[in-house]
Chain A
Amino acid sequence: ETGVTQSPTHLIKTRGQQVTLRCSSQSGHNTVSWYQQALGQGPQFIFQYYREEENGRGNFPPRFSGLQFPNYSSELNVNALELDDSALYLCASSLGTWTVDNYGYTFGSGTRLTVV
């Protein structure tokens, strides 16, 4: 059983650019959630995808968007990067949207994004 894989592990981008982060969910999981963890903070929920559709969204602007593919992998896209977007981006997969009933998320090790 493979875990959650995220790529790349580190990334440096310039303000104003666009970035795509990728996540492969754990085998058997069909739901992917994305979190942003700024330095010294706890993770903040960005959005969740279930069966290729957005299932919930946190307090993030529209320039944060996502996709989920038929194999349940997912992408997080951020347009017009700002310095404050520098953070660790965590992906978590689960079986179904009822994450608690299915004993919660499996997290990846994240992508560290630095915006300069």
Chain B
Amino acid sequence: TQLLEQSPQFLSIQEGENLTVYCNSSSVFSSLQWYRQEPGEGPVLLVTVVTGGEVKKLKRLTFQFGDARKDSSLHITAAQPGDTGLYLCASNFGNEKLTFGTGTRLTIIP
């Protein structure tokens, strides 16, 4: 069974601060996706990373994929209240279904 571990589980910071959340696995990711989920809604895809060492930017969000493709990080610069949500990493490990991590619940305090 492939497991994705996310850390921290909870994070609460002030508006304007920077933060990084992590996703790790003992298995190699074929590809990795990051999602954000707001209360009462389904997850929304933010990015897919495929190549080891890849870095992708989405406005204030920077996603990195580890060289060995077993870890990934999400860095948010100058966090805003709209960034509040549950951040989930997920991988299909080469098959059709996605396996999700337990998520990082982020709260940005105005």
Q: Do A and B come from one complex?
A: no
A-to-B contact residues, CB < 8 Å: none
